[in-house]
Structure 1
Amino acid sequence: MAKKDNVNNSITLPEQEFNFIKSDVHIPRMVPLQTLADESGISYKALWLMCKQNKIVHIKSGNKFLVNVDKFVEYLNTGEQESE
């Protein structure tokens, strides 16, 4: 349970709770399209089209697309899934 610190009225977490929260979090590696194009050998335009068609997991930050690298590798390994 979180405790209230009387000195500066902020809420602090006990070490045990903080370690539990920290160990469960996996932050994905998100890279811009140009970086992914350089690393994968797939053209920038092809990656951009995949984002526009929602084929790969991405977010848009301003006018930049940031792609989840782990999900992109998974997409390359499995290919497109056909839906009926």
Structure 2
Amino acid sequence: MIKILDCQYEVGGRIKLAFSDGTEGVFNLANYLKNRRGELLEKLKDELFAARCFIDAGALCWPNGLELSPQRLYELVHHKQVA
């Protein structure tokens, strides 16, 4: 099971991620939010809030309780097709 070990927020809504298999990738949060809606996601449009990301139990999280799946983020940053 893949986990996220580290995250570094970069200006413009990009988050550099380090995964438990030794790979790294960049998750484009700004692009991810373009086609998604939801109360928890709306807060991430504020770059100061989005920059407060952290890792908890291998997942990418924010102080409002939002948690993004490490497996899905791995697929997104490594451009894996999901059926």
Give me the TM-score of the superposition, normalised by structure 2: 0.29
Please tell me whether Structure 1 or Structure 2 has the larger radius of gyration of its CA atoms: 1
Kindly indicate which of the two structures has a greater share of residues assigned to strand: 2
Higher fraction of helix: 1
Q: Which has the higher contact order (CA 8 A, sep 6+)?
A: 2
